Amino acid sequence: MGSATLPFKTELKQILDIIIHSLYSHKEIFLRELISNASDAIDALRFRALTQPELTEGDENWKIKLIPDKEAGTLTVSDNGIGMTRDEIVENLGTIARSGTKEFLEALKKADAQQRPELIGQFGVGFYSAFMVAKKVEVISRAAGVAKDQAVRWQSTGEGEFEVETVEKETRGTDVILHLRDEDKEFLDEWRLRSLVRQYSDFIEHPIVMDVTREDENKQKKTVEETLNSRKAIWLRDKSEISEEEYIEFYKHLTHDTEPPAKTIHYSAEGAVEFRSLLYIPGHKTFDLLFGDPKRGVHLYIRRVFIMDDCEALLPLYLRFVRGVVDSPDLPLNVSREMLQQSAPLEIIRNNLTNRILKALAEMKQEEYDKYVRFFQELGVFLKEGVYHDFKNREQLADLLLFESTKTEPGKYTTLADYAGRMKDDQQEIYYLAGEQREQLVNSPYLESFRAKDQEVLLLTEPIDSFMVESLTEYKGKKLKAVDKGELAPGEIPEEKKKKLQPLVDYLKEKIPEVKDVRLSSRLKESAVCLVADDWAPGAHMERILKRIGQKGETGQFKKILEINPDHAVTEALVALLQKNPDDARLPEYGRLLYEQALIAEGSPIPDAAGFAQRLNRILAKDASS
């Protein structure tokens, strides 16, 4: 096959444009990205060779080599990993496979110069960071198992196109050759390269080597291949030997996060299954969680051999924000991915990791509350998802939740335990109200009687909250109860009153077919009416969420109950009017107005807004002219 010139995909073109024209702070991360790709390529081949040993053709002397050439002005990063075929190189280096590219571009445009290089790494377009320092990038690659005259050369100046052609390459693997810009020639300097490798890539387990010239004891110059990284897998080292900076650097290597993690969990487990693990809890929502396609965070190694970076069986889905490494000698090396994911030891590791993580979070909440609050604001949604999915750890997860309530200041939180501690003797249940915003909730009629009795109500304003409380149902034996559902203290209404108001109740039931029932309420103090869902049915807020996520259901499937305030002046007046003349033309109109204000109070739209305005204006006109 001859040479061909191909265009980059549109979005990639834009990304390259930003990379080339506006990146100038810590460009040096390009080296980390290329080394990490080389290391991934070696891992990939080593893993494939477990089942297809012939692929390595006897060369398992894994190595990443840096070759600075001052005369040519090039820096080459060379590896003997899995390599790429012509098709792979076009696919891998000419397109972006990930979803969420648009969002990434937006973020990239908005980010300041300091953050941009990290964003590039985070989004898995690390290779293109080469263009921060190179005016031209050449990639010569020979895939494992491919003949030496079937290698491929890819090259580009990063300006919209790249060329590919078939070439010869003696050895398997990939050479990335950077033709450095004049102002970036510092990256040919031996000391500079050495210190960059130490800083960013020390824990890469394959040797990163460079030829250096040294004088021997006879003052003779000779060239030796020096290994620049210490190669000790950080998770296998003793905790006491590892500095905070090293932990953070490794976290950044794994995540490309610009912030340090909120919590580092490093431990080894013995017993039924032996393993070591180094886990990180990020302090905020990392980029991949915000946009598109999050990889499940934890990398799996078996006896230091990298197996996979998205081992789904290692953590429950809701803990996908956790990053890190697990290394176990007790897992079978020579089985397929699928079989491995189903193996019993993996299940044990998963339970163990889950417990550790939940314990670490509890600790953080206890000891570093402010940090925990920030974590919870950003990532608490995952714990709520956990309440929904992880039945076994539900109680532990419930204790990690933070809530706003009628007793907290806006933006401050309480917990279920604290709530329970404040419950008065006569209160049996934990009350909550779910809706869009705190202000809307605190002004809603559903809180009136609770305020009068000085009873606390949790205020839930995240969409997931409604699902979460449905599955939590109780905390330490106390039921969770929505204050806008079911009947509340019916015994509190005097019999006499009930009898007196019954005609109005019957009348409204007949005139408002939209509701399934009308009854007197003991939850209202200032308001005249409100709508209430059955205990088992979705409330108004939940219905809106379901509609938003596209689950319509039949309209009118869950009819509500109209509750009226027995002590309200309007109630009294209507009963009197009804008694005087049941055929008074104003009565149906007033009934409608009551229903419509109840709709407004629960945050629902009024179907006939124009009619509502007319009805209201007739009353206004009369009142204003009296």
Distance CA 154, CA 162 (A): 7
Distance in Å, CB of 148 to ligand ADP, minimum: 17
Q: Hey, how many other C-beta atoms are within 10 angstroms of the C-beta on 306?
A: 21
Residue 142 β-bridge partners: 173
Q: 194: which 2 tokens?
A: 């050495």
Output b/e per residue, 327-357; b: 16+ Cβ within 10 A. bbeebeeeeeeeebbebebbebbbebbbebb
Answer for the pair 517, 485: CB distance below 8 angstroms, yes or no: no
Distance CA 311, CA 353 (A): 13
DSSP string, 222-236: EEEEEE-S----GGG
Distance CA 39, CA 65 (A): 11
- Residue 527 interacts with ligand ADP (CB under 6 A)? no
Answer for the pair 522, 486: CB distance below 8 angstroms, yes or no: no
Answer for the pair 328, 343: CB distance below 8 angstroms, yes or no: no
Report what 92 binds from ligand ADP, Mg ion, none; CB cut-off 5-8 Å by kind.
ligand ADP
Considering only 47, 62, 127, 590, the residue that binds ligand ADP (CB under 6 A) is 127
**93 or 561, CB closer to ligand ADP?**
93
- Residue 37 interacts with Mg ion (CB under 5 A)? yes
Stretch that binds Mg ion, among 107-115, 124-132, 229-237, 323-331 (CB under 5 A): 124-132
Report what 93 binds from Mg ion, ligand ADP, none; CB cut-off 5-8 Å by kind.
ligand ADP
**93 or 188, CB closer to Mg ion?**
93
Considering only 126, 297, 435, 566, the residue that binds Mg ion (CB under 5 A) is 126
Distance in Å, CB of 126 to Mg ion, minimum: 4
Considering only 68, 81, 261, 324, the residue that binds ligand ADP (CB under 6 A) is 81
Report what 174 binds from ligand ADP, Mg ion, none; CB cut-off 5-8 Å by kind.
ligand ADP
Considering only 73, 94, 124, 145, the residue that binds ligand ADP (CB under 6 A) is 124
Distance in Å, CB of 330 to ligand ADP, minimum: 29
**97 or 339, CB closer to ligand ADP?**
97
Which residues ranging from 24 to 53 are in contact with ligand ADP (CB under 6 A)? Answer: 33, 37-38, 41
Report what 501 binds from Mg ion, ligand ADP, none; CB cut-off 5-8 Å by kind.
none
Stretch that binds ligand ADP, among 78-86, 218-226, 328-336, 417-425 (CB under 6 A): 78-86
Stretch that binds Mg ion, among 18-26, 118-126, 305-313, 510-518 (CB under 5 A): 118-126
- Residue 273 interacts with ligand ADP (CB under 6 A)? no
**286 or 455, CB closer to Mg ion?**
286
- Residue 84 interacts with ligand ADP (CB under 6 A)? yes
Strand order, beta sheet including 74-79: 4-7, 161-167, 151-156, 134-142, 173-180, 74-79, 64-69, 208-215, 221-227
Distance in Å, CB of 12 to ligand ADP, minimum: 10
Stretch that binds Mg ion, among 30-38, 138-146, 169-177, 525-533 (CB under 5 A): 30-38
Instruction: Quickly list H helices, 161-239.
Output: 190-201
Distance CA 603, CA 523 (A): 18
Distance in Å, CB of 117 to ligand ADP, minimum: 13
The helix or strand, by DSSP H or E, that contains position 518, with its residue range, turns out to be: strand 517-520
**276 or 296, CB closer to ligand ADP?**
296
Distance in Å, CB of 553 to ligand ADP, minimum: 42
The DSSP symbol for 414 reads B
Sign of the alpha-carbon torsion through 608, 611, 616, 617: positive
Answer for the pair 340, 307: CB distance below 8 angstroms, yes or no: yes
State the residues that interact with Mg ion by CB under 5 A: 37, 126
